[in-house]
């Protein structure tokens, strides 16, 4: 099935935030970005590793509001995000209280459907990595949603220059990390490749502690491409270690989208 370039770009970006930009909702203005202190302490990495050490949980549920914007659009939706650690990410999107889209993500596959255009997609992370020009997989996405470094910085020691910690990933990708001087958590991470136009960046402006574990309550996902897509997430409720219902059934009469 052939699709327009615009529709294909939508479906690829959706894999990150899963379905946010396919929805029709009220227009909103951007919130002012809070200016946060950069941790320039030479122990910033150790402070971060100490902060997240021995934080153990099986499931987490986020109830969030999401603002999507690009060079041409600005939309608001709500999202239920459920994570069974290292196994499943489930996302349900609503606009004005009505279910509009749903996604189920595992280490092996990405599946979602949306009700407006009645389409669904089943594939893996290769299409997203190709589109963004950066290496993305299930575990990176999970860590991103949890407000953690997308790779294990204890096992993969970065180099530090002027409070910026850099890791060289596979295929020439660079991961750059800076830390928050107040919370000791990640302030910003970006992944890109030399001479590549596309960059993916996360910026965390607030964390809250739930059972002594910090989770992001306000953050932005920014895909710096031709469309400069930005997702701003504000979490209203976080629940740990409760049984999660994660149903996924593609409605009848949906058309499958193939992306190459």
Summarised one tens digit per residue, pLDDT across range 164-178 is 999 998 777 889 999
Domains and their CATH numbers in the chain: 5-248 (2.50.20.10)
More confident residue, 16 or 211: 211
Which of 187, 144, 159, 158 shows the shortest CA–CA distance to 37?
Answer: 187
- Are 93 and 102 in contact by the 8 Å Cβ rule? The answer is yes
Q: Is the pTM of this model over 0.75?
A: yes
Among 97-106, 121-130, 138-147, 160-169, the least confident range: 121-130
Instruction: Give SS3 for 148.
Output: coil
180-195 tens-digit pLDDT: 998 899 999 988 877 7
Give yes or no for residue 35 having a pLDDT over 90: no
d(C-alpha 52, C-alpha 149), whole Å: 10
Which of 15, 2, 247 shows the shortest CA–CA distance to 131?
Answer: 15
Q: What pLDDT does residue 29 have?
A: 35
């Amino acid at each position: 099935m052939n699709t327009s370039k615009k529709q294909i770009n939508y479906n690829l970006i959706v894999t990150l935030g899963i379905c946010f930009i396919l929805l029709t909702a009220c227009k909103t203005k951007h919130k002012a970005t809070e200016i946060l202190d950069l941790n320039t302490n030479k122990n910033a990495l150790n402070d971060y590793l100490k902060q997240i050490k021995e934080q153990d949980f099986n499931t987490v549920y986020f109830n969030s509001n999401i603002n999507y914007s690009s060079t041409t659009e600005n939309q608001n939706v709500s999202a239920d995000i459920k994570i069974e650690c290292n196994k499943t990410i489930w996302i349900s999107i609503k606009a004005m209280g009505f279910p509009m889209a749903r996604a189920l993500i595992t280490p092996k596959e990405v599946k979602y459907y949306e009700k407006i255009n009645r389409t669904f997609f089943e594939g893996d992370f290769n299409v997203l990595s190709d589109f963004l020009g950066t290496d993305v997989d299930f575990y990176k996405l999970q860590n991103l949603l949890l407000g953690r470094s997308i790779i294990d910085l204890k096992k993969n020691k970065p180099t530090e220059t002027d409070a910026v910690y850099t890791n060289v990933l596979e295929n020439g990708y660079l991961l750059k990390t800076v830390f928050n001087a107040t919370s000791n958590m990640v302030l910003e991470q970006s992944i890109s490749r030399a001479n590549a136009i596309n960059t993916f960046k996360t910026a965390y402006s607030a964390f809250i502690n739930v059972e002594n574990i910090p989770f992001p309550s306000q953050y932005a996902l920014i895909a710096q491409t031709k469309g400069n897509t930005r997702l701003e997430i504000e979490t209203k409720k976080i629940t740990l270690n409760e049984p999660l219902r994660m149903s996924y059934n593609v409605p009848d009469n949906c058309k499958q989208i193939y992306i190459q």
